[in-house]
Structure 1
Amino acid sequence: MVTIKDIARESGYSVSTVSRVLNNRRDVSPVAKKKIEQVVADYNFVPNNNAKHLKQMGSKTVVILVKGNGNMLFANIVEEIQCMVQRTQYTPVVTYLDESEDEVQHAIRISRERKPMGILFLGGAPDNFKREFDQVGIPSVLVTNQGKNFGVENLASVATDDVAAAECAVDYLFTKGHKKIGIIGGDLSFSYTSRQRYKGCIQSFEKHKMVFDELHNYSDARFSFEGAYQAMVNLMEKKPDLTAVFAMSDVMAIGAARALKDMGKRVPEDISVIGFDGITLADYYNPKLSTIRQQYKLLARRSVEMLFHMVDFADDPIHEVIPFELVTGESVRTI
């Protein structure tokens, strides 16, 4: 019996491309479509309609669970994902959660009520996945956090190495002569991303033979302008002789810079600031923000590709780490 793999081999195209043609998807070139349809006709190939029917019993939706309402990087990724999914037979459905909520509990409920084809998680906590993810039962991809060591099935991941990237940011401050460095990040008790980036900060301090005083040099906040503004005020009260600050997101960095300005401090003349994410606003902020740039378009594209391969071809989940870039900007000076 002729299979889809036989059609792929004879046509010279991948199984995924053949499947898209058979499902009348639009994301196939006219040349490929014509060639594959000719091979299908030559072999009198008939798709397995029973399997197709079973797949279609679920809804044609892909759920995007976004953890946090003020994350501008996530906003960029969501926009890219929506554009990609809308070009297929599936419909994207976006749900926003508070950064302290349990994303896996929401996924369990959504998978039972809406029966989506798959779920894309933007942000997530390992403990939630390890404890409950086996109840989700559909292909999923964790975006911007690494899930390789979560020990769960049906979960792929694509992310920046948060530890290495944060270490790079603090290294940059040290190379500019700074030693009195403060850090603004999330609540380390529940924010996995903050814990990973904090780990990178500590590695940088240790590399430079410096001891980090968490009590006086770390201030936690929500990932928002307002939260970071107050965190910067608190940090200056605890450590008024700071010369530089690493904020764990660009939104936090901009909120911190505004607080410094309102306190009569200049960036970078009095205090240097470096952020994380590389959002568009960072390029237009004054001064142009020094930051760690994540490749949000690549993160979005790979997450969708991974999910569709798991949904359409039952591929095993894979885990990828996407390179980051240090953007020197204008908000860090040499001392």
Structure 2
Amino acid sequence: MKRATIRDVAEKAGVSISTVSRVLNNPEAVTEEKGKKVLEVIEELGYSPNALARGLIHKRTKTLGVLVPDVSNIYAAGVLRGMEDAARERGLNLIICNTDLKRERMTEYLHILSEKQVDGIIYTSEPVFPDVYEAFQRLKLPVVLASTHSLEYPLPSVKIHDEQAAYEATQYLIKQGHTEIGMISGPLSDPIAGLPRLQGYMRAILEQNWHYHFEQTVEYGHYRYEDGFEAMERLHRKYPQLTAVFCASDEMALGVISYLAQQGMSVPHDVSVVGFDNTRIAHICLPKLTTVSQPLHDIGYCTVQKMEELLEHGEVKELRTYLPHQLVIRDSVRSLV
């Protein structure tokens, strides 16, 4: 049996599609007699309005598209949970799109989201390069950034101060008496988390007037466990005297701990380790990981709040929101003082 549409209801009730939508979304704008007639037809036909039908008057489908570079990442899961909680409270639905860090997949998803007539797009974690911004402009949809920002373009965003957080984490190691501190960094090509966290580490070291050669004390990876393991192998080979390592993510830190264990070295007795993000693995691993805590849930939640503000008012009061971070002290750092 064919499912009834809003057009079927309008034709049988002898009204316009807009009138049916008003009955469903704004009944006080319709006369009592006309509203009663439409509701009788809806019941008779068994019509169940979808999001597009409900949104005809307000031009809203109550749906947001979310572009995520890697949904399997533990960090992404925490941010998405915050988005989901905020969306449910507001009667919104999310369409999650895993881009897998591939530009062609992102382009394909943007086309799909446009066809789905989403109200707006949340773009997470990745930088906004000129071609990405141009793609957003062509869609003519509101865009809010989560766990990333753009200093070049006026896009609302929610994240933390990565450079300052990395600086404080490195400072903590220095205060614990460590003078030989390496870093497992994200890619230099990543201006969102890679470069700022490296700069925070370097600022803390340079303040000590130590004669560091950063090409010796820093290795790079893409934030995953295997990247941390492999980068620590390279770092340990060229910088064997290190006593502490600051990692650009918790997964990297876990890879570092695993590599050291494979070499018969213990954390923190032989080498201290600090992570970044405070994902679930930080308090599951042994030893429990000292790490920079990002408010993952709050980042996701506030991003949806900002999107709703943008949709309701056409602008936001605060373009770039920076949420507070904190260093969570656990068991992976040994004091040398």
Q: TM-score, normalised by structure 2?
A: 0.77
Partner of 2:322: 321
1:285-332 CA-partner distances (Å, limit 9, x unpaired): 211101000112221221111001112332336221101011111101
The residue matched to 1:303 in structure 2 has which SS? helix
Partner of 1:138: 141
Partner of 1:89: 91
Is the aligned partner of 1:308 residue 2:308?
A: yes
Partner of 1:127: 129
In the TM superposition, residue 99 of structure 1 has moved relative to its aligned partner by 3.9
**Matching of residues 237-276 of structure 1 within 5 Å:** 237-276=237-276
Partner of 1:215: 215
The residue matched to 1:81 in structure 2 has which SS? helix
Unaligned segments of structure 2, at least 5 residues: 1-23, 30-54
Partner of 1:334: 335
Partner of 2:298: 298
1:197–1:229: structure 2 CA closer, same or farther, 3 Å change rule? same
In the TM superposition, residue 216 of structure 1 has moved relative to its aligned partner by 1.7
Same amino acid, percent of matched pairs: 27
1:79-131 CA-partner distances (Å, limit 9, x unpaired): 22123313433321111123464887466434433331111122021434556
Q: Is the 8 A contact 2:223 2:252 kept in 1?
A: yes
Partner of 1:67: 69
Instruction: Write the letter of the residue equivalent to 2:147.
Output: T
1:291–1:104: structure 2 CA closer, same or farther, 3 Å change rule? same
Partner of 2:35: none
In the TM superposition, residue 133 of structure 1 has moved relative to its aligned partner by 3.8
The residue matched to 1:95 in structure 2 has which SS? strand
Q: Is the 8 A contact 1:118 1:140 kept in 2?
A: yes
Q: Is the 8 A contact 1:163 1:198 kept in 2?
A: yes
Q: Is the 8 A contact 1:111 1:136 kept in 2?
A: no
1:256-298 CA-partner distances (Å, limit 9, x unpaired): 1111111111100000000000112212221110100011222
Q: Is the 8 A contact 1:119 1:138 kept in 2?
A: yes
In the TM superposition, residue 70 of structure 1 has moved relative to its aligned partner by 4.5
In the TM superposition, residue 146 of structure 1 has moved relative to its aligned partner by 3.0
1:295–1:85: structure 2 CA closer, same or farther, 3 Å change rule? same
Deviates more, 1:65-74 or 1:324-333: 65-74
In the TM superposition, residue 64 of structure 1 has moved relative to its aligned partner by 1.2
In the TM superposition, residue 138 of structure 1 has moved relative to its aligned partner by 1.2
Partner of 2:44: none
In the TM superposition, residue 223 of structure 1 has moved relative to its aligned partner by 1.6
**Matching of residues 11-26 of structure 1 within 5 Å:** none
Within 2, Cα distance between the matches of 1:234 and 1:69? 28
In the TM superposition, residue 72 of structure 1 has moved relative to its aligned partner by 1.3
Partner of 2:18: none
The residue matched to 2:277 in structure 1 has which SS? coil
Q: Is the 8 A contact 1:100 1:190 kept in 2?
A: no
How many residue pairs get matched? 287
Within 2, Cα distance between the matches of 1:103 and 1:140? 18
Partner of 2:16: none
Within 1, Cα distance between the matches of 2:196 and 2:112? 28
Unaligned segments of structure 1, at least 5 residues: 1-21, 25-36, 42-51
Within 1, Cα distance between the matches of 2:101 and 2:207? 31
Q: Is the 8 A contact 1:86 1:92 kept in 2?
A: no
Within 2, Cα distance between the matches of 1:264 and 1:285? 17
Within 2, Cα distance between the matches of 1:274 and 1:262? 19
Partner of 1:182: 182
1:132-185 CA-partner distances (Å, limit 9, x unpaired): 5423421121111233x2223xx2101110010011111111111112111112
Within 2, Cα distance between the matches of 1:161 and 1:191? 12
1:167-225 CA-partner distances (Å, limit 9, x unpaired): 11111111111121111122212453101111111111122223442322111112211
Within 1, Cα distance between the matches of 2:235 and 2:134? 35
Within 2, Cα distance between the matches of 1:110 and 1:191? 28
Larger Cα Rg: Structure 1 or Structure 2? 2
RMSD of aligned alpha carbons: 2.7
Within 2, Cα distance between the matches of 1:130 and 1:213? 37
Deviates more, 1:205-214 or 1:247-256: 205-214
1:264–1:127: structure 2 CA closer, same or farther, 3 Å change rule? same
